Amino acid sequence: MTHSEQIVLVAGTVDDVEAAVAIDDAASALYTDAGIVFDFPVGHPMAAHERVAWRVCAAHDGLLFATTKAEGARIGFIVMGTKDGDAYLEQISVLPAHMRRGVGTVLMTEAVAWSVRRNHRAVWLTTYDHLVWNRPYYERFGFAVVPAADCGPEIAAVIAFQRTYLPEPDRRVAMRKTL
Ligand SMILES: CC(C)(COP(=O)(O)OP(=O)(O)OC[C@H]1O[C@@H](n2cnc3c(N)ncnc32)[C@H](O)[C@@H]1OP(=O)(O)O)[C@@H](O)C(=O)NCCC(=O)NCCS
């Protein structure tokens, strides 16, 4: 049995956002290893914005955890919301010990299914262009980079905000999958 067949998706609530943040903090080790350091202490605009956005998504059934069938442990999550009237993948993260075993694929499949269930025409995300687990990973699922001129105002605002605070700002890109 593959790891992905042992995964159960469980909806989270606003009260579970901190558990998602903890998973994401651990998953960020991938970036640190690649020389991209996120240093956003509690209260930093990036951290504060993320918590608020994720709480809003969680309140609208947009927080989903990948849990192990055996123990029920949370090992990954997605946060889904909307931007410019389309679905928006706010975040996907998997605990380092469980990476590269298909958990992310289960979560990406659910991100698309979540969007389809809500009758969205497209799902968007923002990511780095040059890291193998970012743009190339999403291309596997049918996402393509969208030029800035073709992004709606809310996606453009996300990119602008990220370029203010994230390392390697010029590498941030928006991607879309048409549904
Ligand atoms: C992106 C992420 C959710 C994928 O989760 P996952 O469970 O490892 O995903 P899958 O097992 O379905 O696929 C893994 C694929 O990602 C790529 N990948 C992941 N980590 C990698 C690494 N350290 N080096 C190279 N490729 C990597 C590979 O293409 C890999 O496929 P392979 O194992 O067949 O080579 C996970 O890497 C993660 O949590 N990253 C940190 C958080 C993050 O970057 N989120 C996205 C923000 S835009």
**Can you give the pLDDT at residue 29?**
95
**Nearest-angstrom CA–CA distance, 60 and 138:** 24
How far apart CA 14 and CA 55 sit, in angstroms, is: 5
Mean pLDDT of the chain: 95
pLDDT of residue 1: 43
Expressed in angstroms and rounded, the spacing between residue 27 Cα and the centre of ligand 1 is 10
Predicted pLDDT at 39: 87
* Ligand 1 mean position, distance from CA 96 (Å): 9
Report the candidate in 9, 7, 5 with the shortest Cα–Cα distance to residue 111: 9
Question: Structure pTM?
Answer: 0.96
Pocket test for ligand 1, best of 92, 100, 123 (most atoms within 8 A of CB): 100
Average pLDDT value for residue range 19-27: 97
- Residue 42: the pLDDT is 82
Alpha carbons 126 and 172: distance in angstroms, whole number = 7
| Domains assigned to the chain | 3-178 (3.40.630.30)
- Angle formed by the axes of helices 45-59 and 17-27, to 10°? 130
pLDDT score for 2:
57
**Cα separation, 37 vs 123, whole angstroms:** 27
What pLDDT, in 10s, does the model give residues 72-125? 999 999 999 999 999 999 999 999 999 999 999 999 999 999 999 999 999 999
pLDDT confidence band for 40 (50 / 70 / 90) = confident
* Assigned token pair, 58: 């969680």
Amino acid at residue number 120: H
